[in-house]
Amino acid sequence: MKKEKKKRTYKLITRTDIIGYLFVLPFLIGFLFLFLKPMVTSVIYSFHKITFGESGMIMEKVGLENYRYALFGDAKFFKELLTIGGTVVVKILVIMFMSIFVALLLNQKFPGRLFFRTVMFLPVIFGADTILKLFIETDAYQSLSGSSNAFVSVGQSATGFLQELIQSFGFFSDMMSTFSEYAKKIFDLTWEMGIQVILFIVGLQAIPSYLYEVCEMEGATKWETFWKITFPLLSPTILLCLIYTVIENFNSSNEVVKMISENMGHRIHYACAQTWLYSIIVFLLVMIIYGIVSRKTVYLD
């Protein structure tokens, strides 16, 4: 065994390498030509000042000026970055806990499960930009909006009803109103966790059922079964969802992305510089999370 290993290290490229490269080849081509090339162009743009003249695009070299402006000149950009960083972290954690919880519920057998699963999937289907956009526009008549997501603001008025219902019972009204306040906030996130719940359901179903049978035979409680079987074997999905949630929350329509889109229209060079600063920050964040969480991930082997 040892000998074989030694032998393999002498070879520059092994058979495994070649097969591996063949599998990822389509992605490598796509990455090179449809991702890296435009990205490099945009990096080049970010070091220039671009104006549109009669003869097309005029590029003027300015060095790091755009980046300097983004970091020190443009107070709004930096401020929005910090705001997003602050709000997103809590939101991501709540989404993660909530979606695991909902997926566990929906993975159980009970009457109406199919209905609730469909309901959970609806936000993915109805989450199209077009629908959200037109919903906001049309609802301007009713002045329901005000939140960035029209659906959520409608949802808020919906959970307001729940709040009233709870308060109408009368007792513990203070405690109940705080409670319902939080419940409302958590429920509003439902519109943003459709995909996570689906991924978790798929992940839960990928856990072989014989493991649970063993647990039952050994007399483990449900709580123990969860922590000893479900949680570790779900950890790859948790990693996946965590990364997805982080990226989704940073890339969905927040203030910075809006700012970048706006600048794309008239100040491409500055928009590119902003994008790169932003992407590098998110990339580092994702890599740190990946580094920490992937060490704890367990794969069934």
Partner 1 sequence: MAHKKEMTAKKAASVSSAVFYKIFRLFVLIGISYVVLYPILTMILQSITLPTDLFSSSRVWIPDNPTFTNFTHCLKYFKYGEHVWITVQIAAISTLCQVAVSSLVGYGLARYRFKGNTLVFMMVILTIIVPVQTAQIPMYVDYQKFDFFGIGKVIGWFTGTPLTVNLLNTKWVYYIPAMLGVGINSGLYIFLFRQFFKGMPKDLEDAGRVDGCNALQVYLRIMVPNTKPVFVTVALLSAIFYWNDSVISGMFLNITENMPIMLYTEFIMDPSYTGYTGVTPEQFKAETYVALLLAVAPLMILYIICQKFFTECMDRSGIKG
Positions in 46-65 near partner 1 (CB under 8 A): none
Span 168-197, contacts to partner 1 by CB under 8 A = 183, 187-188, 190-191, 195
Pairing of strands 48-53, 56-61: antiparallel
| Binding flag, residue 134, partner 1 (CB under 8 A) | yes
CA dist 31 and 8 (Å) reads: 30
Q: Which stretch binds partner 1 (CB under 8 A): 58-66, 68-76, 82-90, 154-162?
A: 154-162
Of residues 24 and 292, the one with the C-beta less far from partner 1: 24
Token output for 35: 């991702």
173, 167 in Cβ contact below 8 A? yes
Which residues, numbered 198-217, are part of the site for partner 1 (CB under 8 A)? 198-199, 201-203, 205-206, 208-210
- Which of 51, 87, 138, 177: binder of partner 1 (CB under 8 A)? 138
- The maximal CA–CA distance of the chain, rounded, in angstroms, is 79
Task: Examine residue 8 and tell whether it contacts partner 1 (CB under 8 A).
Answer: no
> If binding is defined by CB under 8 A, does position 257 make contact with partner 1?
yes
Applying CB under 8 A, the span of 2-10, 61-69, 78-86, 277-285 interacting with partner 1 comes to 277-285
User: Are 50 and 62 within 8 A, CB to CB?
Assistant: no
Structure token pair of residue 145: 């909006």
Told to check if 38 binds partner 1 by CB under 8 A, we report yes
Residue 269 CB, nearest approach to partner 1 (Å): 11
Q: Does position 275 bind partner 1 by CB under 8 A?
A: yes
Torsion of the alpha carbons at 88, 89, 91 and 93, rounded to the nearest 10: 150
Please count the residues of this chain forming the interface with partner 1, following the rule CB under 8 A: 109
Give me the count of residues in the chain: 301
For residues 97 and 245, what is the distance between their CA atoms, to the nearest angstrom? 12
